Chains A and B, each alone.
Chain A
Amino acid sequence: QSALTQPPSVSGSPGQSVTISCTGTSSDVSAYKRVAWYQQFPGTAPKLMIYEDSNRPSGVPDRFSGSKSGNTASLTISGLQSEDEADYYCTSYTTTSTYIFGTGTKVTVL
């Protein structure tokens, strides 16, 4: 099973909004409400940012939001800040009771 497809990189100026897409299939992204997003800084473990497509864990700034349409999920960072510069990964539960990660997206704050 191939990884979910994400753009390799996105960039934006401070204060702008950026959106990262995560494209899968009817066997994963659109099959369940179990898409999650993770933020990772170099040398550290990933951190959960969004779960169940659009829910935000406590402590995650509300400028991070998730959505989904068909086979594509999206993470939007509104009001981009310098500390948001990191790698972001989506993941989804699948119809074979497994999980699959996205290819990862590097967010650069200009």
Chain B
Amino acid sequence: QVQLVQSGAEVKKPGDSVKVSCKASGYTFAGYYIHWVRQAPGQGLEWMGWIKPESGDRNNAQKFQGWVTLTRDTSISTTYMDLSRLTFDDTAIYYCALEECSGGHCTGAFDIWGQGTMVTVSS
């Protein structure tokens, strides 16, 4: 059974950085993309970026260029989302989600989601 398990809740101060992890199990690390999506309290979903764990290729939404870094550790099937220079507006649930690609064809479907990680920015 494919699962994405994320790290636990974080409380940070403005200006801090936060690193959220997403560990995949029950799936080969090759042939898929991991996406990061956030949801502020009472708000909608916001796509942040993707990383292809097999190659390390990545891309962020323009809004997050320069302050969101996506990385991976293939030895432990884990990807990371690093968000710097936190402000109160970054208080949100952060999700990772898996997009399966087969034979180079990607569906654009986020099939599996992590449980979410609550990041609270508070002074």
Q: Which residue numbers of A lie inside 8 Å of B, CB to CB?
A: 1, 3, 32, 34-36, 38, 40, 45-48, 51-52, 55, 57, 89, 91-93, 96-104
Contact = CB atoms under 8 A, between A and B. Distances in A.
B108 A51 contact: yes
Nearest to B95: A45
Contacts of B50: 99
A98 B110 CA distance: 13
Given A36-B108, A46-B97, A51-B107, 4 more contacts: A36-B110, A47-B113, A52-B108, A101-B37
Chain A facing B: main interface SS: strand
Contacts of A36: 107-110
Given A48-B110, A51-B108, A89 B44 contact: yes
Chain B facing A: main interface SS: strand
Contacts of B45: 38, 40, 46, 89, 91, 101, 104
B30 interface: no
A38 B44 CA distance: 12
A55 B109 CA distance: 10
A46 B109 contact: no
Contacts of A38: 45, 110
B44 A98 contact: no
A65 to B, nearest CB: 16
